[in-house]
Amino acid sequence: MKKKIQVSVGSVAQALDRFEHAWRQAEIGGARAAQVRLSFESLPTLLKNLTPARWTLLEQLKRDGPLSINELARRLERHYKNVHTDVTRLIELGLVERGSDQRVAVEWDIVAAEMRLAA
């Protein structure tokens, strides 16, 4: 089964509404598939965190499997410090994991983005 994370733009109130809805469904015994979601407050915030360089980093890790940051920087032909900064932020966001051997990896098969226009 493929692992999927949903990335979206929305307010804290919208995230709380989704949580409340899921809670109420669980209280009445309603089955609901587990969702993993990463929400940003605005499109500029999303783009600040998921830059093209970070997206390329995610793709490289998914393609090559767990790597040290040094090896990842070498394969991406980028400076170690910049890759380290990007990996640290992607770990904080839950898009990258660090193993006990200090290598980093992407567990997600699908990163689905959703951005709605305000009406």
Looking at the domain assignment, is residue 66 inside a domain?
yes
Task: State how far Cα 14 lies from the chain centre.
Answer: 19
User: Is the pLDDT assigned to residue 94 strictly greater than 80?
Assistant: yes
The torsion angles phi and psi of 22, rounded to 5 degrees, stand at -65, -40
Q: What sections of 1-119 are H helices per DSSP?
A: 12-27, 43-49, 52-64, 69-76, 80-93
What's the pLDDT at 32?
62
CATH code, 68:
1.10.10.10
Looking at the domain assignment, is residue 92 inside a domain?
yes
Q: Please tell me which residue, 32 or 65, carries the higher pLDDT value.
A: 65
Looking at the domain assignment, is residue 16 inside a domain?
yes
Position of tokens 């390329």? Answer: 56
- The count of structural domains within the chain is 1
Looking at the domain assignment, is residue 70 inside a domain?
yes
Looking at the domain assignment, is residue 119 inside a domain?
no
The pair of structure tokens assigned to 52 is 């093209």
- Which distant-in-sequence residues (6+ apart) come within 8 Å of 62 by Cβ? 106, 108, 109
Domain span holding position 93: 4-114
- Reported as a single tens digit per residue, the pLDDT across 38-90 is 889 888 999 999 999 999 999 999 999 899 999 999 999 999 999 999 999 99
Nearest to 111 by CA among 99, 88, 93: 93
**pLDDT band, very low/low/confident/very high, at 14 (cuts 50, 70, 90):** confident
Looking at the domain assignment, is residue 37 inside a domain?
yes
Looking at the domain assignment, is residue 9 inside a domain?
yes
